[in-house]
Amino acid sequence: MRLLFSCQDQVGIVAKVTAFLAARDLNILTLDQHTNETGYFFMRLVIDGKRTAKLEKEIDKYLALPLQAQWQLTDSSRQRQVVIFCSRQDHCLSDLIYRTQSNEMSCQIKRVISNHQKTKRLVENAGIPFHYLPINKETKPQVEQKQLELCRDADLVVLARYMQILSADFLEQVSAPVINIHHSFLPAFVGADPYRRAWERGVKLIGATSHFVTEELDMGPIIEQDITRVTHRHSVEDLVRLGAEVEKAVLARAVRDFVEDRVIVDQQKTVVFK
Amino acid sequence: MRLLFSCQDQVGIVAKVTAFLAARDLNILTLDQHTNETGYFFMRLVIDGKRTAKLEKEIDKYLALPLQAQWQLTDSSRQRQVVIFCSRQDHCLSDLIYRTQSNEMSCQIKRVISNHQKTKRLVENAGIPFHYLPINKETKPQVEQKQLELCRDADLVVLARYMQILSADFLEQVSAPVINIHHSFLPAFVGADPYRRAWERGVKLIGATSHFVTEELDMGPIIEQDITRVTHRHSVEDLVRLGAEVEKAVLARAVRDFVEDRVIVDQQKTVVFK
Amino acid sequence: MRLLFSCQDQVGIVAKVTAFLAARDLNILTLDQHTNETGYFFMRLVIDGKRTAKLEKEIDKYLALPLQAQWQLTDSSRQRQVVIFCSRQDHCLSDLIYRTQSNEMSCQIKRVISNHQKTKRLVENAGIPFHYLPINKETKPQVEQKQLELCRDADLVVLARYMQILSADFLEQVSAPVINIHHSFLPAFVGADPYRRAWERGVKLIGATSHFVTEELDMGPIIEQDITRVTHRHSVEDLVRLGAEVEKAVLARAVRDFVEDRVIVDQQKTVVFK
Amino acid sequence: MRLLFSCQDQVGIVAKVTAFLAARDLNILTLDQHTNETGYFFMRLVIDGKRTAKLEKEIDKYLALPLQAQWQLTDSSRQRQVVIFCSRQDHCLSDLIYRTQSNEMSCQIKRVISNHQKTKRLVENAGIPFHYLPINKETKPQVEQKQLELCRDADLVVLARYMQILSADFLEQVSAPVINIHHSFLPAFVGADPYRRAWERGVKLIGATSHFVTEELDMGPIIEQDITRVTHRHSVEDLVRLGAEVEKAVLARAVRDFVEDRVIVDQQKTVVFK
């Protein structure tokens, strides 16, 4: 099982938590911790043992309450349920399907929601339910309600090149975190058509950024980024093609880190225990 | 010798230029060409042979005039004269001194101009003239006149973490191209204090950008960029330290490419023949 | 169309070839050339125009014969026919199928040959013929005959993690080049089980190498290589998983470069015009 | 202060060590741990507080003895004393001098030993004692005795492109660890002239490896590795030049990690807590 634990820093947190575990004969497989610049403490433990309701109660009573901590205990073997949103482009979607079905990532794609029919065959061939929900200005509120229902049992919502902006209402109501892949090296090229703008600026590297979605466009906490080299020989189309490689890799790493409980949001940033 | 040649694209340019060279028994060692999206053609040739006034006249007459081309023929063995501007930080300066003095780069640092005394010893120990020119709002016009005089014989001006903005007047009057190293992955974090802003944004990669200096701050044509990975564990100071590595490498590559005549400005971008 | 042209270096080759093209009103889109250390010259041209039998005859007569050159003119729009060999692991196969079917690479997977049934569904779902040819010591000669027949119309044979060694006989008889992906950074860890050996050695980077297959195991000309970072935390299984990413990327780049006529074998090495 | 602690894995080690520290009101700034495949446990702690003889006695009594652990407590502010060996090439030496003198690395270069006079001026200009100890087959035993004396007060010996092989005798007698930079991506190209051999093999990436020196040539535990991309255009001399960049970076990172107590030898490998 995995324990995420965070609270105001003070002497003895690690000692308290690890003594608590040792007293219950639970061996620590991995321990990572971090204290940020404001003195807030974050810890991730991988523990050899099974999560039980009793253990959770005891963590609450003996650790979380006295330390005023936020915490979460997860069963390492439980597959997280992921709902994917996409539009026309299928490279990220197809990559995530391959990785989950080959057990490279410990999660299950529960369903795919798209405002286009284009990926229907790919999704259904993989045995995954596909929901076609076209969307426009007028229908947006109702469609988002349907989307919310379809996300109710999700542990994670992934926007795999979903070309619509989710409303503040949606983000407030959705119970699972939402991870997006933006096709630029944020904060460069926020918003639409980043590859064209990168090409016009004549950059020598292009990138992709996976981040949590918040109300402000492309401004949520960054989970992972990567880049690839380009030259004057590359057209916008080349950038799109080369960038797709980076998008796939970056989104897959972010989703993988999330489902392994490696990612903690720290205000506008993330702690990612690799 | 090296020939840079650019003109409006049309059938037969390469044939004309290479036939011209073959007729003079000049062997081509390297040929690189590129046509941009507006149909403008760029070519770089490394030619086995010596640059002569006669050859230049003939290029002008038989190639440049008929093709309405811009061109430049340089002696590969001639060391370019570089004037470096710096302020307090010496990592890029020190790196350029080492590289030029170990003959890793085919150029000579003619002199160093700084608004601080801090690097004086380093520069003079290396046998390079050091000019201390402190600068403030009031003295800027006069100081820039002195700087211009000291740049009169330069083939290239390098801003090696020079923390002053050159005026539009200076840029108009200076005869050599000016290359800057900006300590961010442009166009992210234009302007001051990019490492702090990168840290506040929580990016997972930081970068550096070498570009030609134009009037608009940090908006000149990009020559080279690179990045390095950072995590939540890194403080602003760590970013400064890790970024310094990238700055050194990126600036050195840009200067090296420039002195080897590999860089051609193409409107707001560069063609860099690697 | 694309022209690959190589011969002993001498003054005027580029002039001759480009004049020949200009005289036929054929515009050069890209020209790359290289002369190796023994004075052998290689050139790749992308030419705006259609390949015709007449043009081929003229190239032969006016260029290849006088210069004693080896050359090849290909139709850029013609999709190369690729035959893929694989065994149990499907990450490279699946990646190549996605890339060809999304038109990211200008080639067609004609058929897949495997000594295991495992990838049959994946291949047939994609509408590609699948040939199950189990192999053992006794049956190897006959099976290789069948494989040869299935490769007769191939422009390229790709070993996408095919875990059998092709015999010298097969390599002599097969008409198409054979490209392999080796799951190490050659020449480190030639042969079997490279990830385990990399882990035992405690390397900090693991890699993959795509190369032409020659009789000597893992010693053919290298086309492309890449690496990824690993730490003491990674198990052999992690190396296999992380390495799979690199294998996919490296093999895809090698195949793409090959089908775009960017790769020329130069004795034990390759020239790859990027 | 920093505590390195390793022992056979068992339930409660982290609890015991951290409770011990909490009881003494010592706050943990960083904790990293790792258990290897044979069940051996490694931990590195950065602790807010001062190392005292009393604390060391107590660690020994209450932690190390009961857990049969190996441990080491170091004062974070104490600068490690480094002795550098070099030959003719000065890029790594010059880089280490710059980094130590600009306080980028928390260590002091105590002296430089070389079998050539070439770097004498560079070293002495930096205010560092230089010892010229030419060496040949006959004088090797006596010279190594002198070298041993000059290493007696060292915390670390760095071979910064020292082109001599240290004898088994030397390695047995030297009290400090010895770190080497090998100019290839080990285990490829063990031994002499790796860049030439890399060029002959036609690799597309070249690398450098920093490792502890053991009796078997280039086979000691690897601390850090990195690579850079090369193409068919690069000569052996280009590989030497490009490789020098990687050597500098890799050696600096290994030395920095060592002096920050991040490196623990684990049989033939290393644990490097980044």
pTM for the full predicted model: 0.94
Q: How many CB pairs under 8 A join C and D?
A: 83
Q: For residue C7, give the amino acid letter.
A: C
Q: Is C212 on the interface with D (CB under 8 A)?
A: no
Q: What is the distance between the alpha carbons of residues C41 and C210, in angstroms, rounded to a whole number?
A: 24
Q: How far is CA B106 from the centre of its chain?
A: 13
Which residue is closest to C11 within chain B, CA to CA?
Answer: B27
pLDDT computed for residue C225 by the predictor: 98
Residue B244: closest C-alpha in chain D: D104
| Residue among B57, B40, B49 nearest B22 (CA) | B49
Amino acid at D30: T
Partner residue facing C241 (CB), from A104, A125, A241: A104
How far CA A148 is from CA of A140, A220, B41, C147, D99, in Å, comes to 12, 20, 54, 53, 55
Q: Name all chains with 3 or more CB-CB pairs below 8 Å to chain D.
A: A, B, C
Please compute the mean of the pLDDT values over residues B1-6 and round it to a whole number: 97
- In this prediction, residue A217 carries a pLDDT of 87
Q: What is the rounded CA–CA span in Å between residue A270 and residue C264?
A: 46
Residues in B touching C14 (Cβ below 8 Å)? 14, 18, 22, 28, 31
- pLDDT exceeds cutoff 90 at D217: no
Write phi, then psi, for C112 (nearest 5 degrees): -120, 130
Instruction: Indicate if the pLDDT at residue A36 is higher than 90.
Output: yes
Q: Is the Cβ of D33 closer than 8 Å to some Cβ of chain C?
A: no
Q: What is the DSSP letter of D55?
A: H
Contact B32/C at CB under 8 A? yes
Q: What is the pLDDT of residues C201-257, one digit of tens each?
A: 999 999 999 999 999 989 999 999 999 999 999 999 999 999 999 999 999 999 999
Which of D225, D232, D257 is the best substitution to test chain C (most C C-beta atoms within 10 A)?
A: D232
Query: Which of B162, B165, B177 is closest to B247 using CA atoms?
Result: B162
Cα–Cα distance, C270 to A46 (Å, whole number): 47
Residue of chain C whose Cα is closest to the Cα of B27: C11
Contact yes or no for A12 and D18 at CB 8 A:
yes
Percent of chain D with pLDDT over 90: 96
- Which residues of B fall within a CB distance of 8 Å from C32? 32
Q: How far is CA D163 from CA C118, C160, D183, D197, D263, in A?
A: 52, 42, 11, 17, 25
What part of D 103-122 touches B (C-beta under 8 Å)? 104
CB contact at 8 A, A92 and A108: no
- Over residues B93-121, mean pLDDT: 95
Cβ of residue C153 closer than 8 Å to a chain A Cβ: no
Which of B92, B99, B102, B161 to probe the D interface (max D CBs under 10 A)? B102
If you write DSSP's letter for every residue of chain A in order, what string do you get?
-EEEEEEE--TTHHHHHHHHHHHTTPEEEEEEEEE-TTSEEEEEEEEES---HHHHHHIIIIIIHHHT-EEEEE-TTSPEEEEEEE-S--HHHHHHHHHHHTTSSSEEEEEEEESSSTTHHHHHHTT--EEE----TTTHHHHHHHHHHHTTT-SEEEESS--SPPPHHHHHH--S-EEEEESS-TTTT-SS-HHHHHHHHT-SEEEEEEEE--SSTT-SPEEEEEEEE--TT--HHHHHHHHHHHHHHHHHHHHHHHHTT-EEEETTEEEE--
CA distance C6 to C55: 18
Which amino acid is residue A184, in one-letter code? S
Query: C64 pLDDT exceeds 90?
Result: yes
Reference A79, options A46, A113, A111, A105; nearest CA is A105
Phi-psi region of A229 (alpha: psi -120 to 50; beta: other; left: phi over 0): beta
Query: CB neighbours (10 Å) of residue C193?
Result: 13
Residues of chain B in contact with residue A232, where contact means CB-CB under 8 angstroms, are: 34, 36, 266, 269-272
CB half-sphere exposure, A211, CA atoms < 13 A: 29
Q: Do B221 and A203 contact (CB within 8 A), yes or no?
A: no
DSSP code, position B79: P
The values of phi and psi at residue C47, to 5°, are -120, 135
Q: Which of B55, B54, B43, B108 is nearest to B77 (CA)?
A: B108
Beta bridge partners of B46: B2, B30
Q: Does B221 touch chain A (CB under 8 A)?
A: yes
Q: Which of C7, C18, C36 to mutate to test the interface with B (most CBs of B within 10 A)?
A: C18
Q: What is the mean pLDDT of chain D?
A: 96
Phi, psi (5° rounding) for residue A195? -65, -40
The CA distance from B181 to B157, in Å, is: 12
CA-nearest residue to C242 within chain A is A104
Comparing alpha-carbon positions, the chain A residue that sits nearest to D42 is: A30
The average pLDDT across B48-53 equals 94
The answer to whether A269 contacts chain B (CB < 8 Å) is: yes
Give the confidence band of D33 by pLDDT, cuts at 50, 70, 90: very high
Residues from chain C contacting residue D187 (CB–CB below 8 Å) = 188-189, 201, 203
Catalytic machinery residues of D = 218
Question: Chain A: nearest CA to B117, how far in angstroms?
Answer: 34
Angle between helices A13-23 and D13-23 in degrees, nearest 10:
140
Give the contacts of A193 (CB within 8 A, at least 6 positions apart). Answer: none
pLDDT for B234? 96
Q: What part of C 35-64 touches B (C-beta under 8 Å)?
A: 35
Which one of D10, D14, D25 has the shortest CB-CB distance to A14?
A: D14
CB proximity C247 to A under 8 Å: no
Catalytic residue, chosen from A90, A155, A218, A261, is: A218
Nearest to D203 among C225, C231, C266 (CB): C225
Q: Cβ of C228 under 8 Å from any chain B Cβ?
A: no
In our burial notation (b when 16+ CB lie closer than 10 A, e otherwise), range B185-222 reads bbbbbbeeebbebbbebbbbbbbbbbbbbbeeebbbbb
Count CB-CB contacts under 10 A for residue A165.
Answer: 14
Percent over 70 (pLDDT), chain D: 100
Q: Are the beta carbons of C90 and A102 separated by less than 8 Å?
A: yes
Is pLDDT at C140 greater than 90 in this prediction?
Answer: yes
Cα distance between residue B176 and residue B101, in whole Å: 22
Cis peptide leading into A141, omega within 30 of 0? no
- ipTM score: 0.94
Provide the pLDDT for residue A88: 96
Q: What is the pLDDT of residues A53-105, one digit of tens each?
A: 999 999 999 999 999 999 999 999 999 999 999 999 999 999 999 999 998 89
> Annotated catalytic, B218?
yes
| Average pLDDT for D139-149 | 97
Neighbouring-strand partners of residue C65: none
Say how far apart CA A94 and CA B195 lie, in whole Å: 36
Instruction: Answer yes or no: do D203 and C222 touch at CB < 8 A.
Output: yes
C205 Cα to chain D: minimum distance (Å): 7
Distance of alpha carbon A41 from its chain centroid, rounded?
21
User: Which residue is closest to B28 within chain C, CA to CA?
Assistant: C11
| Interval A226-242 mean pLDDT | 96
- A213, pLDDT greater than 90: yes
Of all residues in chain C, the percent with pLDDT exceeding 70 is 100
Taking only the tens place, the pLDDT of each residue in C90-117 is 999 999 999 999 988 989 999 999 999 9
Chain C within 8 Å of D222 (Cβ-Cβ)? yes
- Kindly determine whether residue D245 and residue B241, on different chains, have CB atoms separated by under 8 Å: no
Q: What are the chain A neighbours of C90 within 8 Å (beta carbons)?
A: 102
pLDDT tens digit sequence for B193-226: 999 999 999 999 999 999 999 999 899 999 999 9
Please state, for a pLDDT cut of 90, what percent of chain C lies above it.
Answer: 96
**How far does the CA of residue A182 sit from the closest CA of chain B (Å)?**
13
pLDDT band at B86 (very low <50, low <70, confident <90, very high): very high
Please tell me the predicted confidence (pLDDT) of residue C217: 87
- The number of C-beta contacts closer than 8 angstroms across A and B is 83
Q: Measure C235 CA to nearest chain A CA, in Å.
A: 14
Residue type, C231: T
Mean pLDDT value across residues A142-149: 98
* Nearest-Cα residue of chain B relative to residue D246: B249
